[in-house]
Amino acid sequence: MRALKAAVIIMGVMIVAGTILLAVVVANRLSGRDGPAVQASLGQPAGTRIVSLAGAGDRVAVHVTGGGLPDRILLLDPASGRVVGTLAAEGPPAPPTR
């Protein structure tokens, strides 16, 4: 009976320690402290906001707005992180639909 009690206590301590370790690892990964951060610049003017992202074949389409320019879609190469194309409307924006 004494061995069973010791085994239960040891396993309980191991479960608590494992849970704490898991929480620390998840917190570090969420805060970005697990390695160097990779940053990419889209080359857009200040005030530009990303509205949405979508896959477009082997590219990523990024809908951006603001920055003193009309809404536009940037096509990114995910391997290099570079903008490989831009789509922009020529003319006034369409009125909102109801």
Please give the Cα distance from 44 to 52 (Å, whole number).
15
**Assigned domain for 26 exists:** yes
pLDDT the model gives residue 54? 92
Element (H, E) at 15: helix 2-31
- The 10s digit of each residue's pLDDT in 9-33 is 999 999 999 999 999 988 888 876 5
Where in the sequence is the domain holding 31, given as residue range(s)?
1-37
The number of domains in the chain is 2
User: Mean pLDDT of all residues in the chain?
Assistant: 85
Please give the Cα distance from 4 to 10 (Å, whole number).
10
Q: What angle do CA 2, 17, 5 make, to 5 degrees?
A: 10
Query: 29 and 1 in one domain?
Result: yes
pLDDT the model gives residue 35? 54
**E strands present in 10-92:** 48-56, 59-66, 69-77, 82-88
Query: 33 and 53 in one domain?
Result: no
Confidence band of 90 (pLDDT split at 50, 70, 90)? confident
Residue 59 backbone phi and psi in degrees, to 5:
-120, 170
Query: 55 and 30 in one domain?
Result: no
Asked whether residue 40 carries a pLDDT value surpassing 70, the answer given is: no
pLDDT the model gives residue 92? 66
Query: 63 and 82 in one domain?
Result: yes
**Assigned domain for 96 exists:** no
**Assigned domain for 42 exists:** no
**Assigned domain for 5 exists:** yes
Q: The whole model's pTM is what?
A: 0.51
Percentage of the chain beyond pLDDT 70 is 85
